[in-house]
């Protein structure tokens, strides 16, 4: 693992000055806010796709991450090793290699990660050609003074760091799904590169509405997994020392308008980590999460003393309050879903969403691995 050098030691004069100031504050009854230590137990949680065996492997995402954490590996390094399993799986069309492409047929990937103890973060957006964007996000955190690199700049950075760049991350499966979607779209509204500059804002909005409608029809017909329209994996973990980290990685909204970036690579939206309190990550409609920076809100609720479930429900309520009328049904309920995966520093956890059941009526789950092994646990719905 590549790491930055630790801060240089302070000199004796600085040390004496600092300790004298602390002594003065103590005498006056005023002092710095210091997080209370809490006993922690190693736990890894993720979205439901983190507990699925892939590529003939014997470990799932959460199982690999948990094993590595309990063996003493850095928490963030362990989590990224876990999500790599999903990123490299061509059968998961929501993440990494074989993810459903944008409206021009290009697979573009987003990811971010946060290291609680080191207070580092890194992200990439609209990255093409690298199967494991979470690794590039970690390189941004470890090797630069930046938090987010995008598009060609992100790819150039990945190339400079030695990552293999591929021409096309589509699989035959994702390509065929894209061609079926394109066949169903009215060509007069399809923004091919030759017409791109002539499209009006109204034409863009019309195209976006029709794109989602067609995608939802294909999901209803079983051609694509409904969960993969907004598919992502978030994975958060804590070790026995209470070190908290998290990572989120995605191929984004299926057949999105080229250039669209959702919440996944944005700190405070797709992921937020506080080493003093816990971590939260999200899947679902990224625009709703971005508008509210809701993962940050979840962790703030943990800081205020809420348990993981209540912290997540508070964020869902905030999103609901700020939802446009056009995205509410006749009962004034959201027509989309947002999910939060919440992990406290003490190892308590929860999965919450607007809707705890899928469109086919099945119970929705999130993944957990702890001393009792890997498993799915039910997501609790705010509405149902």
Rounded Cα–Cα distance for residues 27 and 30 (Å)? 8
Token pair listed for 334: 């959201």
Active-site annotation holds for 232:
yes
Structural element, H or E, at residue 374: strand 373-378
Structural element, H or E, at residue 124: strand 120-127
Of residues 60, 93, 232, 250, which has the active-site annotation?
A: 232
Each as own residue / partner, the long-range contacts of residues 26-30 (CB below 8 Å, 24 or more positions apart, any chain) are none
In the block, which residue shows the tokens 């394109």?
Answer: 182
Q: Which residues contact 215 (CB under 8 A, 6 or more apart)?
A: 181, 224, 229, 254, 255
3-state class (DSSP) for residue 75: helix
CB neighbours (10 Å) of residue 197?
7
Q: Provide φ and ψ at 65, rounded to 5°.
A: -60, -45
3-state class (DSSP) for residue 346: coil
Active-site residues, by number, are 232
């Amino acid at each position: 693992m590549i790491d930055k050098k630790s801060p240089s030691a302070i000199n004796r004069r600085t040390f004496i000055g600092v300790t004298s100031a602390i002594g003065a504050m103590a005498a006056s009854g005023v002092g710095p806010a210091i997080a209370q230590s809490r006993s922690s137990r190693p736990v890894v949680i993720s979205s439901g796709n983190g507990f699925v065996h892939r590529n003939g492997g014997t470990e799932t995402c959460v199982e690999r991450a948990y094993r590595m954490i309990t063996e003493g590996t850095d928490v963030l390094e362990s989590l990224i090793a876990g999500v790599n399993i999903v990123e490299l799986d061509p059968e998961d069309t929501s993440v990494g290699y074989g993810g459903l492409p944008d409206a021009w047929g290009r697979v573009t990937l987003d990811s971010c990660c946060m290291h609680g103890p080191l207070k580092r973060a890194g992200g990439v957006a609209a990255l093409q050609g690298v199967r494991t964007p979470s690794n590039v996000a970690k390189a941004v955190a470890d090797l630069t003074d930046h938090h987010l690199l995008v598009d060609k700049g992100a790819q150039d950075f990945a190339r400079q760091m030695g990552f293999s760049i591929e021409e096309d991350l589509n699989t035959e499966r994702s390509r065929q799904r894209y061609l079926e979607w394109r066949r169903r779209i009215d060509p007069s509204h399809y923004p091919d590169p030759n017409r791109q500059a002539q499209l009006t804002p109204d034409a863009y909005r019309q195209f976006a509405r029709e794109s989602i409608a067609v995608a939802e029809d294909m999901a209803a017909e079983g051609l694509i997994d409904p969960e993969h329209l907004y598919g992502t994996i978030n994975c958060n973990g804590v070790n026995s020392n209470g070190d908290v980290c998290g990572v989120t990685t995605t191929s984004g909204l299926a057949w999105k308008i080229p250039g669209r970036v959702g919440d996944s690579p944005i700190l405070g939206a797709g992921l937020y980590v506080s080493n003093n309190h816990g971590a939260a990550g999200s899947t679902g409609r990224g625009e709703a999460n971005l508008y509210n920076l809701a993962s940050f809100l979840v962790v703030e609720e943990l800081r205020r003393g809420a348990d993981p479930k209540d912290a997540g429900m508070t964020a869902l309520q905030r999103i609901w309050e700020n939802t446009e009328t056009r995205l509410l049904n006749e009962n004034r309920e959201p027509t989309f879903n947002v999910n939060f995966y919440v992990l406290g520093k003490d190892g308590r956890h929860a999965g919450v969403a607007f809707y705890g059941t899928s469109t086919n009526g099945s119970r929705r789950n999130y993944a957990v691995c702890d001393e009792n092994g890997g498993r799915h646990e039910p997501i609790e719905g705010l509405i149902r």
